[in-house]
Amino acid sequence: MHHCDVLIVGGGLAGLSAALQLAERFQVTLLAKRELEVSSSQWAQGGIAAVLGGGDSFDAHVRDTLVAGGMLNDLPATRFVVEHGPGAIDWLRAQGVPFDTDAGTLHLTREGGHSARRIAHVADATGAAIQRTLLERARNHPRISLVENHVAIDLITNRHMDIGSPPRCWGVYALNATNGRVETFAAAHTILATGGAGKVYRYTTNPDTASGDGIAMAWRSGCRVANMEFIQFHPTCLYHPKAKSFLISEAVRGEGGVLRLPDGTRFMPAHDARAELAPRDVVARAIDFEMKKHGLDCVYLDITHKGEAFIRQHFPTIYQRCLDLGIDMAREPIPVVPAVHFTCGGVLTDLSGRTDLAGLYAIGEVAYTGLHGANRLASNSLLECVVFGTAAAAAIGAAEQPAVLVPRPWDESRVVDADEQVVVSHNWDELRRLMWNYVGIVRTDKRLERAAHRIELLRSEVHDFYANFRVGRDLIELRNLLQVAELIVRSARLRHESRGLHYSLDWPQTAAPAAPTILVP
């Protein structure tokens, strides 16, 4: 049994931002599923968007976000995040993040969908630099306890406390992956910063930790979720058998990279006037169309015309990774395919990260704030993490601090060790394949119906397995992925239009007015 003032589940940028600000007043425990270096934030290449340069404006950043988001964005939330952008950069710089500079001022790059240069970055490994800096500060803070290799299973609510209304979150049960025991973490306030659900698909740029845990746990505890049909496919994931879902940053296209067919033909201008600088949903669909039309395994991203010196200066990480795999991007184009990159929907929150359940907050990719609408604009994700990490910390600081009660311990009295794991491994593989084939870049009513039917059968099998055997990491994640898959398909079947990342051959027109898909448990 562990007690703290604030429990944070997830060790990426959102969780660390909240932890460092909360630790000024509270005792904070931060749980990470694996090592703290493993998160989507760590893998983020491009940078963090904010209005920082002359000739740019909050209105322009808001407008770009709305256009990319298919006008489904929540305007107050979008303006809130954009206007807090410069402050987020200032806070990160104060923590010691070494953003690239040019003659003493921040060097700003441009990415697809942006009308101005507004991406602050650390070469092409921004996420890693930010994560490294904040982790060092968190490890040295006396009021932050970092707990690695603990997999959250479920939220602790009133039903685990033998108390009545009003409903509230009191922490989480988590599996200690080192010794296989389930531990109880009790807290007055709990923050979900668990990231997205990319592992529900066969191909993704996300780390193995992205199994939708926070979304599934919050849904099971009575929280609404929204816009789960909007799964962003990054257009340019490196296509190589040994690449392990390595993405090629948006900034490569922002700095002049062009997409070509194997014969060298450039194809993006035929799909959109913005060509390679179109938003991600447009570029991903164009690549998907060309691959299917020509029977291709991949297309090619060509930036050879910029020269080796430019490429090595601006994209040292990508250059070296490609070179390690036998691809010299200074002299030959990079083979790329789309892959799942970001979950635009999530747990419904307000502008302080509060969910429907008292004492529970959600920040970062796990949350739906309304910022991203039907498609996330490049480099708004790291910005969202810092802005809402700050907002949640402020809300908790201003909230009433209830006494932490003692939950019932985890009950394993009626379960046994699993005699075989084939059910888990087989169902995991089948789920990811059916989501890729039936709920991918282009959808139809029939495909979604098939997916819904098969997911329900898989959920039934896994529920029986969960009820009878001791939990392990793979079972916990599969249970959550199946719940998230069901939410994605249910949301997609409710949207009778094509907008942003949701493109249906049966509903090709965009409907009016724009409205989010909100699911209620």
Q: Is the dihedral of CA 58, 63, 69, 74 positive or negative?
A: positive
Question: Residue 53 corresponds to which amino acid?
Answer: G
Maximum separation of any 2 CA atoms in the chain, in Å: 68
| CA gyration radius, the chain | 22
Identify the three-state secondary structure at position 68.
Answer: helix
Q: Return the pLDDT at 43.
A: 67
- pLDDT tens by residue, the chain, 521 residues: 999 999 999 999 999 999 999 999 999 999 999 988 777 777 677 799 999 988 899 999 999 999 999 999 999 999 999 999 999 999 999 999 999 998 889 999 888 789 999 999 998 788 889 999 999 999 999 999 999 999 999 999 998 887 877 899 999 999 999 999 999 999 999 999 999 999 999 888 888 889 999 999 999 999 999 999 999 998 899 998 887 778 898 889 989 999 999 999 999 999 999 999 888 888 998 998 899 899 998 999 999 999 999 999 999 999 999 999 999 999 999 999 999 999 999 999 999 999 999 999 999 999 999 999 999 998 999 999 999 999 999 999 999 888 877 888 888 777 777 666 777 888 989 999 999 889 999 999 999 999 999 999 999 989 988 888 888 899 999 999 999 999 999 999 999 999 999 999 999 999 999 999 999 99
Pick 422-516's CATH classification: 1.10.274.10, 1.20.120.140, 1.10.10.60, 1.20.58.100.
Answer: 1.20.58.100
2-229+344-398 and 232-340 share one fold: no
The stretches of 295-420 forming alpha helices (DSSP H) are: 308-314, 316-324, 380-398
CA–CA distance, 46 with 282 (Å, rounded to integer): 19
Please check whether residue 214 is in contact with residue 366, taking contact to mean a CB–CB distance below 8 angstroms.
yes
Three-state secondary-structure class, residue 172: strand
The one-letter amino acid code at 95 reads Q
Residues 6+ apart with CB under 8 A from 487: 215, 219, 225, 228, 519
Topology given in CATH for the domain delimited by 232-340:
Flavocytochrome C3; Chain A, domain 1 (3.90.700)
Residue 511: beta bridge partners?
none
Nearest to 283 by CA among 254, 305, 311: 254
The pLDDT of residue 70: 94
Q: Which residues are catalytic?
A: 280
- What values do phi and psi take at 411, rounded to 5? -100, 115
DSSP 428-475: HHHHHHHHHHHSSSSB-HHHHHHHHHHHHHHHHHHHHHHHHB---HHH
What is the CB neighbour count within 10 angstroms for residue 141? 15
Task: Kindly tell me the burial class for residue 147, based on how many C-beta atoms sit within 10 Å of its own C-beta (0-12, 13-18, 19 or more).
Answer: middle
pTM beyond 0.85: the answer is: yes
Residue 292, pLDDT score: 85
Q: What is the DSSP string of 9-37?
A: E--SHHHHHHHHHHTTTS-EEEE-SS-TT
pLDDT at residue number 440? 92
Q: Supply the pLDDT for residue 46.
A: 76
To the question of domain 2-229+344-398 being in CATH 3.50.50.60, the answer is yes
Q: What is the pLDDT of residue 394?
A: 97
Continuous segment of H or E residues that includes residue 257: none
- Any idea what DSSP says for residue 267? -
Amino acid at 32: A
**Domain limits of the chain?**
2-229+344-398, 232-340, 422-516
Closest CA to 247 of 261, 235, 258: 235
Query: Which of the 8 DSSP states describes residue 443?
Result: B
CA-closest candidate to residue 503, choices 433, 449, 443, 429? 443
**The predicted structure's pLDDT at residue 98:** 94
What letter does residue 402 receive in the DSSP assignment?
P
